Structure 1
């Protein structure tokens, strides 16, 4: 079975870009450290996460979800819950607490440990 997560990620980015009127391909902040950039990008959970800082009105909470992916497969998803620019609650799921914390630090414009690429 083909993994549809990258396609879902692309659709989410497309909707976000149209709501904002700001496009990933037009970014000019590549030379800045990752935590200062307007776009947050990471590959996680067999897909990718791409979010613009202006799309997030404010962060609401963090939570851990237990996922049951089969009879013997259980795992955790670390979620950052936020209100988007349109007032809708959204969540981003991360595979580890450290990646979710990195996202929170990016949103607050605080440096984090990952090296710039």
Structure 2
């Protein structure tokens, strides 16, 4: 570890109270528990598993992943005219899908059963 990094770690931990020192592994250069080095301990327990993508509002469908074509097809199914759909940007389409599917789910219609996951 470079000296400038050790000084920075020391200032972060001792003076500013951010983090802790590691007293095992790289933090113990003797390997016998007799010395310490100013190596900061990792902030977390080292959870290296990939995080799963967040699910929006308890649904199994992530609206952010809808393409323009899929969004257009869903809007047509929900009864929006093609002329209106063509004027909408991607995020306006997603917003409209969310609003219409929420309304359909609240009405208890068949479309609500089909697209209730977007609500």
TM-score range, shorter chain: under 0.3
Higher relative contact order (CA 8 A, sep 6+): 1
Write 1 or 2 for the structure with the bigger share of helix.
Answer: 2
Write 1 or 2 for the structure with the bigger share of strand.
Answer: 1
**Please, what TM-score do these two structures have when normalized by structure 1?**
0.24
Name which one, 1 or 2, has greater alpha-carbon Rg. 2
**Please, what TM-score do these two structures have when normalized by structure 2?**
0.24
